[in-house]
Amino acid sequence: MNRHFHGVDDETLSLIIQLQIEDFDEVARTTQPKGKGRPGDQDVRADFLTAIEAYRDDLEKTAQVLADEAMCKSITRAVETDAELVAAAVSEEEQTIRDRALAFRLSGRTQSVSRSIARSPDSSDNQLLTDAKVFRRSRPLPLQPERRACVACTEQYEYCDVCLRALFTSSLVDETLFPPKCCKQPIPLGSCATLLTSDIIAEYGPKEAEFRTPAAQRTYCRACSTFVPPEYVKGDVAYCGQPGCSAQTCTFCKAASHEATDCPQDPTRQDVLRLAAAEGWQHCFGCKRIVELDAGCYHITCRCGAQFCYVCGEAWKRCQCPQWDERRLLRRAEANRAAMVEQERAHLRENHDCDHRSWRFVQGEHECELCHDTLKAFIWYCCQCHLAACSRCRRNRL
């Protein structure tokens, strides 16, 4: 019976058997003859009732087996649960008997009643516990926990703990990812704190304060490069609060503080500014970083989030400057093309000996590289070496 009902729990199986027994009782009651009837009909009815009674007996035996099995499981669980407690109680009792015997021997008296403390190493309790462990190992393995798709890997809306920790870790070093979000909605720290490490949670608060401070107003310690919160800034001086560091930094020139004096001219900084002016580099109006454009349009998005025009430095869409230079656009396309060619060259060098096991179906008009026939509807592309082949060449020529 268990073989035919694999995966059905005992309570459900018992209910199924009980319902079948009740159905057979109802059939037997309605099949009883109500009169003499014809002789042939009585013989058929008697055979039918005999078959029903035999099958009903089998069902009752199966129900009894299930009840006995449930009792055995209950006893097994009780033995597994109480075995250690019983063993500890027996050991304590035996120790009490030994102590009492020793006390009588030391006092020179004899015990009125002798009690044996010897126990067979193969006692019934131990044997029952062994049988219980064997039964537990012979049971079917429990169902595996439900596995669900991770949003970082597929198209669902759930994150596994590994991908979630990776997202939060990346957001602490990349301001463009902060705060961590999904579908443009921030992910609250409290909703996933149990899945994050203590280091990530401890670092999240200071980083949140840093990234929420406008880039132009941020000051970093000149000695340890730690962000100085606004509450540690007094006037034009930022006081580092890190243990073991008491450096003071000027909020304007970012060098050592120089109260009551103007910021000195840093020769190195002046050299960088002259180089930026000569090369046409632009300053971000938000954080004052120097930005170099090598290829692409003039729309610049700084790391601080500010968007500005690379030609004049004004906020984007606030000027009448051209939006791109053809030479820079071509340079960008050439760079992308060169990267794709190099990637394909490395791929073919690694997979030159292709066995064409996996193919990709592509619709449209194409030419077969083997027979050079032009196919109007579709062609097959090898997923490894990107060979284009018609169906006949794919099946019969390769």
Taking only the tens place, the pLDDT of each residue in 51-95 is: 777 777 887 888 888 888 888 877 777 776 766 676 777 777 777
Position 117 scores a pLDDT of: 42
Mean pLDDT (whole number) for 5-24: 74
- 218 and 289 inside one domain: no
> 230 lies in which domain range?
161-250
Residue 120 in this model has a pLDDT that exceeds 50: no
Residues 241 and 283 in one domain: no
Same domain, 346 and 361: no
Instruction: Identify whether residues 364 and 335 lie together within a single domain.
Output: no
Q: Using CA atoms, how far apart are residues 366 and 389, in angstroms rounded to an integer?
A: 9
Query: Rounded distance, CA 292 to CA 287, Å?
Result: 15
Last residue of a domain, one of 310, 333, 350: 350
Give, in order, the Cα–Cα distances in Å from 83 to each of 69, 73, 77, 298, 363: 20, 15, 10, 78, 70
Residue with tokens 């462990």: 133
pLDDT recorded at residue 378:
92
Residue 298, domain member (yes or no): yes
Q: Is the pLDDT of residue 280 over 50?
A: yes
Q: Are residues 30 and 135 in the same domain?
A: yes
Instruction: Tell me if 377 sits within 8 A of 362, measured CB to CB.
Output: no
Do residues 333 and 361 both lie within one domain?
A: no
Query: Is residue 263 in some structural domain?
Result: no
Do 176 and 229 reside in the same domain of the chain?
yes
| 213 and 89, same domain (yes or no) | no
| Total residues found in the chain within this entry | 398
pLDDT over 80 at 264, yes or no:
no
The total number of structural domains that make up the chain: 4
78 within a domain of the structure (yes/no):
yes
Query: Is the domain of 310 the same as that of 374?
Result: no
Q: Does residue 311 lie within any of the structural domains? A: yes
- In 3D space, the residue among 206, 196, 209 whose CA is nearest the CA of residue 169 turns out to be 196
Q: Quick one: pLDDT at residue 115?
A: 45
Averaged pLDDT of the chain: 77
Neighbours of 390 (CB within 10 A): 22
The C-alpha angle 200, 206, 208, rounded to 5 degrees, equals 90
Examine residue 65 and state whether it is found in any structural domain, yes or no. yes
Q: Are residues 314 and 362 in the same domain?
A: no
| Token digits of residue 56 | 């009903």
- pLDDT for the residue 109: 56
E strand or H helix at 12, and its extent?
helix 10-31
Alpha-carbon dihedral sign for residues 289, 290, 292, 293: positive
pLDDT at 297: 87
Angle made by CA atoms 167, 171, 172, in degrees to the nearest 5:
125
Q: What number is the average pLDDT over the span 222-237?
A: 86
* Contact predicate 378/367, CB 8 Å: no
Terminal-residue alpha carbon distance, the chain:
54
pLDDT band at 388 (very low <50, low <70, confident <90, very high): very high
Beta bridge partners of 389: 380
One domain for residues 99 and 215: no
Same domain, 328 and 385: no
